[in-house]
Structure 1
Amino acid sequence: MSEIDEYEQLKTRLAHLKAEHSDLDLAIDALILSGNYNTLQLQRLKKRKLVLKDQIFSTENALLPDIIA
């Protein structure tokens, strides 16, 4: 696999992760506003959102070129 293909795959993955993170954010807000949720359900959604945030951070770092200081 070439570097360009890998770079494009990382960009696509990053876009999907950001979209899922945004969707979860909206779902959490809607759930809270509805007032009809259990705490465990909300905690699971928030934990998934944090996992996605970590994956976004890792993917963004993988996209940055290596710079030797």
Structure 2
Amino acid sequence: MSTKNQRENRDTATLAKTINGACQSLSIGRSTLYELIGSGELRAIKVRNRTLIPTAELERLIDERMAVKP
């Protein structure tokens, strides 16, 4: 996907997900998500008392995991 298309898709998509939303998107549990955040593998942001995961971070995590050879 070209950079222009990514920007266009991002403009119409959600920029960040809640913890529950990120868990659903990745099909993982909350503990696993918090482990990824704690280890630095996944970056999160705080907005007041909410923890949000940028969708770009979720996509990056998946892309990196897919690139790793078993």
TM-score, normalised to structure 1, is 0.32
User: Which structure carries more helix by proportion?
Assistant: 1
Going by fraction, where is strand more abundant, 1 or 2?
Answer: 2
Q: Which structure would you say has the larger Rg?
A: 1
TM-score by length of 2: 0.31
The structure whose RCO (Cα within 8 Å, separation 6+) is larger is 1
